[in-house]
Amino acid sequence: MGPGLSPKKALEFGLKVDMEAVPKNVATAIKTGKVDLNDPANTLLLLKANAVLGVTGFFNEDGKSLKSIGIQCALCHSTVNNAFMPGIGRRLDGWPNRDLNIGTIVASAPDLSAFVEMLEVDEATVKKVLTSWGPGKFDAALNLDGKAFRPDGKPAATLNPPAFGLAGVNNHTWTGAWGTVTYWNAYVGNLEMHGKGKFYDPRLDNAEKYPVAARTRQGHKDDGEDRITAKLPALHFYQLSLPSPKPPPGTFDAVAMARGEKLFAGKARCASCHVPPLFTETGWNLHKAEEIGIDDFQAKRSPDGSYRTTPLRALWETKQIHKGGFYHDGRFATVKDVVEHYNHHFTLSLTGEEKRDLIEYLKSL
C-alpha cells in the first residue's frame, strides 16, 4: 500500500540490515554509490535477500510486489555492528535495537483502525501516543491498560531490553511477575506481533487493572490456527544460549576494578540484590518501588506491582546496548547516575573515589 519505504527512510527509522545477507554485487554497488537508497524498489531487493533484521517479505507470484510482511524478535532485540555503514553490518543477536523508532514506524502505517478500535480513541490520539515513544522504546502494556502517559506527562513506553545473558534468571521483564522468558515470548508473539496462535492468561480479565485487555478478551486468544506454540521451545533454547558480551581490552581500569569489586560486595551493598554471577537474585527477584527509591507507575502495570532486579550485563557498552539510559524508562543517563541514586537512597556515604572504583567494576561485567 502507498508509495513504499526507501532503504534510506528505513535506516532512519532504525531498521537494521545484515551485511552478510546482502548479495555481493549489491553490496559493491551500495559502496560505490550505484544503488539509489531513496528508491523503495531497493527495499524490496533487501527483503528478497532476507537482509533486513527481523523483517520477512512475502512476495506475490510476480516476485516484484509484496503480499504481506512478517516480523520476528530480531526486529527489536538484535542490531548490527555498523561494519559496512551506519545501520548495515554484522548482526548482534540479543542486543537491543535502541535506534528502532517503533512508534513512528507504526504511526506511518496507512491503516491504524486496529488501534483506534482497541483503545477506543480517534486516530489523531493514536498517532500522538505512538510518536511520543521515541527511538528504542515500546509500550508493551498499552494494549492492556490503555495508559499512554505517566502521571508526570512523559510517555509510558519502556526501553527495549537486552535479550542476552538470561540463562538462570527468573522473571524476564522490567516489571516482574509476568513470567519467564518463554511466557513473554508467547505474550509478544500473540498480543504484540499478532501472529496466529493461542494465548491464555486469566489475570488479564481484571477489568479494573486491565480494562482494554478485559474488554477485548486478550487473555483468551484462540485463532484456531496456531503457528506460535510449537516454536516456543526452540526460541527459548536459543535465547538462553546468548551470552552477555564481554568488555573489550582497555574498557576499564583493572586496579580500580579490583577495589570496586570489594565495594560491590561490601560497603555499596550491591551484591545483596545483584548476586554474582547472575547479578540478580535467584528465585523471586522482585522489589517494590519504595525499596529501590523510584515511583511505582510502571510497577503497578504488572500483575503484582513490583520491579525486577535487572541483571547487570554489558554496562561498559553505552553506544548501542544502553543507548537511551538505564532503568526501564531510561531515567538515569549514565552508570554514574545510577550509583549516585543508590548512594543517596541507601545513605551509603560513598566517597568520590569509591564511586569511581565501583563504576570501574560495573564496567567490567
Distance CA 25, CA 44 (A): 16
Q: Which domain holds residue 339?
A: 254-274+312-363
User: Is residue 307 one of the residues assigned to a domain?
Assistant: no
| CA 90 vs CA 17, 50, 58, 79, 82: distances in Å | 8, 14, 24, 8, 7
Residues 116, 39: one domain? Answer: no
User: Is residue 228 one of the residues assigned to a domain?
Assistant: yes
Helix spans in 188-269 (H): 211-216, 232-240, 254-265
Distance CA 213, CA 361 (A): 43
pLDDT per position in the chain (365 positions), as tens?
778 899 999 999 999 999 999 999 999 999 898 989 999 999 999 999 999 999 999 999 988 889 999 999 999 999 999 999 999 999 999 999 999 999 999 999 889 999 999 999 999 999 999 999 999 999 999 999 999 999 999 999 999 999 999 999 999 899 988 999 999 999 999 999 999 999 999 999 999 999 999 999 999 999 999 999 999 999 999 999 999 999 999 999 999 999 999 999 999 999 999 999 999 999 999 999 999 999 999 999 999 999 999 999 999 999 999 999 999 999 999 999 999 999 999 999 999 999 999 999 999 99
What type of residue is 190? N
User: Is residue 295 one of the residues assigned to a domain?
Assistant: no
Q: Are 198 and 223 in contact (CB under 8 A)?
A: yes
User: Is residue 214 one of the residues assigned to a domain?
Assistant: yes
User: Is residue 297 one of the residues assigned to a domain?
Assistant: no
In the chain, at which residue ranges do the beta strands (DSSP E only) sit?
17-18, 55-59, 66-71, 78-80, 88-89, 91-93, 137-138, 158-159, 198-200, 220-222, 286-287, 307-308
Q: How many independent structural domains does the chain possess?
A: 3
User: Is residue 19 one of the residues assigned to a domain?
Assistant: yes
Distance CA 267, CA 186 (A): 41
- Grid cell in block for residue 86: 551506519
Helix (H/G/I), strand (E/B), else coil: 89: strand
- Grid cell in block for residue 224: 484456531
Q: Alpha carbon 108 to chain centroid distance?
A: 20
Residues 116, 44: one domain? Answer: no
Q: What is the pTM of this model?
A: 0.93
Distance CA 124, CA 39 (A): 29
Residues 79, 109: one domain? Answer: no
Helix (H/G/I), strand (E/B), else coil: 178: coil
User: Is residue 44 one of the residues assigned to a domain?
Assistant: yes
Residues 167, 108: one domain? Answer: yes
Distance CA 128, CA 141 (A): 17
Residues 88, 107: one domain? Answer: no
pLDDT of residue 312: 96
Q: Are 308 and 280 in contact (CB under 8 A)?
A: yes
For residue 361, with 0-12 CB atoms within 10 Å meaning exposed, 13-18 middle and 19 or more buried, which class applies? buried
Domain termination residue (choose one: 38, 64, 93) = 93
Residues 116, 222: one domain? Answer: yes
Domain termination residue (choose one: 62, 93, 124) = 93
Pairing mode, strands 137-138 and 78-80 = unpaired
In the block, which residue shows the cell 586496579? Answer: 255
Please list, in sequence order, all residues whose beta carbon lies within 8 angstroms of the beta carbon of residue 335, skipping any fewer than 6 positions away. 315, 318, 326, 359, 362, 363
Residues 262, 231: one domain? Answer: no
Please list, in sequence order, all residues whose beta carbon lies within 8 angstroms of the beta carbon of residue 57, skipping any fewer than 6 positions away. 44, 47, 48, 66, 69
Domain termination residue (choose one: 93, 110, 136) = 93
Residues 143, 269: one domain? Answer: no
Residues 89, 111: one domain? Answer: no
Measured distance between the N- and C-terminal CA atoms of the chain, rounded to whole angstroms: 46
Helix (H/G/I), strand (E/B), else coil: 223: coil
Residue 362: phi and psi, rounded to 5, are -60, -35
Residues 44, 159: one domain? Answer: no
